[in-house]
Amino acid sequence: MIQVHPEMDDERLVALFDKSVHRQWAQDAVAWEDFDRVPASVRKDLAMVLTPVYLGEQTAMVGVATVIPMLLMRGEHEASLCLAGMELDEARHFRILNHLYRLFGHEPMPSRRLPEMWRYHARLLKSRDPMEWVWGILISDLFARRFYKAVGELDPQGLLGALTRRILQDEARHQAFSDLYLERELPTAAPERRRALLDERDDLFRVMDALATRLSANANALGIDHDALLDGLWSDTERWADRLGLGATGRPRPHGGAVSRGRAS
């Protein structure tokens, strides 16, 4: 898995890693005292709707750490370098949300109310295909982009706006990585591996749909239309699937919470 002096000749991925090193930031980059201006009336609803994202940041940490050895086994040193940078980003997002929850004074949604998310994660964790992981990470990042934007708009001049703008810059780099990686790997992937990616996307949307239904009262109270958000996200993934040549685009967005047993085993 480890080579003393690997080639590292994928210049684009190495440049992306260098960029991520330059763009690191710490928790004290934002004015936490501005939290006082987040109205008390929205804190409880925010604590609820942020729960899947909070869990998603932790899952991203686990996912990235899981994929790095897979990539190293394949001699993909440049990609593993990018993911090492991403690991710190996701750890920071997790840390920041953890701090935000302390300020909220409200707990996230209890994990027993997120059964679909656990089932989806259990399925993904069985996968040994880095492409499935990177595709899942891309969809999560696209979701994060829409969701954090919506949260930032609740308080554009304050703490939520400042935090989400920073996180969104990190997520944009993650999308750039997934784009470069999938663009390189997909052309030689067997048709069944490509189909598995579309199945994975459907499963992820069923999970998100179930969660959106459960969180709709809290989201509505904040003026966030979860259904419209998922429609927008579906269009985002359609565009990416189309651009990456995955085929089978133009399908309706799946609803409901049943996650398939999947191919990952």
Q: Compare residues 174 and 194 and give the one whose CB is closer to Fe ion.
A: 174
**97: number of Cβ within 10 Å:** 22
Q: Compare residues 91 and 248 and give the one whose CB is closer to Fe ion.
A: 91
CB of 127 to Fe ion, least distance (A): 18
Q: Compare residues 127 and 140 and give the one whose CB is closer to Fe ion.
A: 140
Residue 58 burial by CB count (10 A; 0-12/13-18/19+): exposed, middle or buried? middle
**# chain residues binding Fe ion, by CB under 5 A:** 6
Site for Fe ion in 174-193 (CB under 5 A): 174
CB of 36 to Fe ion, least distance (A): 26
Site for Fe ion in 10-29 (CB under 5 A): none
Residue pair 12/184 in contact by the 8 Å Cβ criterion: no
CB of 174 to Fe ion, least distance (A): 4
Cα→Cα distances 217→2, 45, 160, 222, 224, Å = 50, 8, 21, 9, 10
Q: Is 226 in the site for Fe ion (CB under 5 A)?
A: no
Q: Is 166 in the site for Fe ion (CB under 5 A)?
A: no
Site for Fe ion in 33-72 (CB under 5 A): 57
- Stretch of 45-53, 83-91, 125-133, 252-260 lying at the interface with Fe ion (CB under 5 A): 83-91
Residue pair 6/77 in contact by the 8 Å Cβ criterion: yes
105 Rama sector, left if φ>0, alpha if ψ -120 to 50, beta otherwise: left
- Stretch of 18-26, 168-176, 199-207, 234-242 lying at the interface with Fe ion (CB under 5 A): 168-176
CB of 53 to Fe ion, least distance (A): 8
Q: At what angle do helices 226-243 and 130-153 cross, to 10 degrees?
A: 140
CB of 93 to Fe ion, least distance (A): 4
Contact residue for Fe ion among 48, 59, 78, 93 (CB under 5 A): 93
Cα→Cα distances 261→62, 138, 161, 208, 229, Å = 21, 21, 39, 17, 26
Residue pair 46/222 in contact by the 8 Å Cβ criterion: yes
CB of 92 to Fe ion, least distance (A): 8
CB of 26 to Fe ion, least distance (A): 15
Residue type, 241: A
Which residues 6+ apart lie within 8 Å of 202 measured at CB?
A: 254, 260
Q: Compare residues 96 and 246 and give the one whose CB is closer to Fe ion.
A: 96
Site for Fe ion in 112-151 (CB under 5 A): 141
C-alpha–C-alpha distance, residues 122 and 83, integer Å? 21
What Rg, from alpha-carbon coordinates, does the chain have?
A: 18
Residues that bind Fe ion (CB under 5 A): 57, 90, 93, 141, 171, 174
